[in-house]
Amino acid sequence: MNYRYHIVDVFSDTPFGGNQLAVLPDATGITTEGMQRIAREFNFAETTFVVPSESTEATCRVRIFTPRAEVAFAGHPTIGTACALVLGGHHGGKDVGDLVLEEGVGLVQVHVEKRGHSMTGMLTLKGPISQPGERPARDALARTLTVSPTEVIDGFFGSAGLPFCFARLASIESVDRAVIDKASWASHFASAWSPNLFFFSGELSNGSELYARMSAPALGIEEDPATGSACATLAGLLASSPNVEDSTFTLKVVQGVSMGRRSNITAVASKVAGQLVSVGVGGPTAYVSTGDIAVPECFVDVAAPAQ
């Protein structure tokens, strides 16, 4: 059976930059195993599958798969899916609007606007940021990233739906030079609070620009050109500090440069009466292509999908 798909590049306003995403705008009937096989076939960091939602508040339900596993939430697939639905004419032909996507973390609101041949999207996720009391050891981070211990300024964990281990390094050069030592990762992080490593450099203040890379070996992602959920989590963690006054805390994050897929990400966190009320992440999305993928009948449990 043939299913339509769209390919978009998220966090880039032109094709062939940012983070690639394949979106199946009507994946009705495809089994979970079929979705995983399709995600492995595209072999992007994530592939999304849009199916009807049972929630009256949701526009649709979105399932997100890496090449190895389904995840409850991720930033660039959420934004890219919303933008692809609008670009592909699946949102009533509207060029601007708010979509509510049901994901594993609950309902996620995405505001989208069409600008020429590209879109811009901003997701908002309400609720607290999860953070354990434990912290990753700086020497373990240094060995895993194969950098000098003096280049690791700090390390911490956090999650807005997808957990990350954050490592703040001394410079852009340190970030670019880092190489994941798989044996050290397996020893120190494979079973840690989060095995996903987001390493960056820059000042941790409102309005700062950070330079980042991300690797998630457990999810089959050697390196990610853009990691929206990590950026939103980081903004939320920083805004939650008692030293930060009520405000809209903003970070600009540049990622994917060393891969030749520069991504420009904006992360925000809203703090009211001393409490974090929401985090968000956004940026442009560029259209790349549309096509059909043939899905074997053994991975489809309905007679035929809607086209």
- Quick check: is 46 catalytic? yes
Q: Which fold has domain 2-125+286-299?
A: Diaminopimelate Epimerase; Chain A, domain 1 (3.10.310)
CATH class of 138-282: alpha beta
Strands (E), 30-77: 46-51, 60-65, 70-71
SS3 132: coil
pLDDT in tens, the chain (307 residues): 999 999 999 999 999 999 999 999 999 999 999 999 999 999 999 999 999 999 999 999 999 999 999 999 999 999 999 999 988 777 666 677 899 999 999 999 999 998 777 799 999 998 789 999 999 999 999 999 999 999 999 999 999 989 999 999 999 999 999 999 999 999 999 999 999 999 999 999 999 999 999 999 999 999 999 999 999 999 999 999 998 998 899 999 999 999 999 999 999 999 999 999 999 999 999 999 999 999 999 999 965 444 4
From the list 33, 41, 46, 209, the catalytic residue is 46
Q: What is the pLDDT of residue 255?
A: 98
Q: What is the pLDDT of residue 307?
A: 42
CATH 3.10.310.10 occupies which residues in the chain?
2-125+286-299, 138-282
* Number of neighbouring beta carbons within 10 Å of residue 41: 13
For residues 215 and 196, what is the distance between their CA atoms, to the nearest angstrom?
A: 6
Question: What pTM value is reported for the model?
Answer: 0.90
* Number of neighbouring beta carbons within 10 Å of residue 68: 15
Q: What is the pLDDT of residue 114?
A: 83
Q: What is the pLDDT of residue 88?
A: 76
∠ Cα 11 280 23 (to 5°): 45
Q: What is the pLDDT of residue 87?
A: 83
Write down how long the chain is: 307
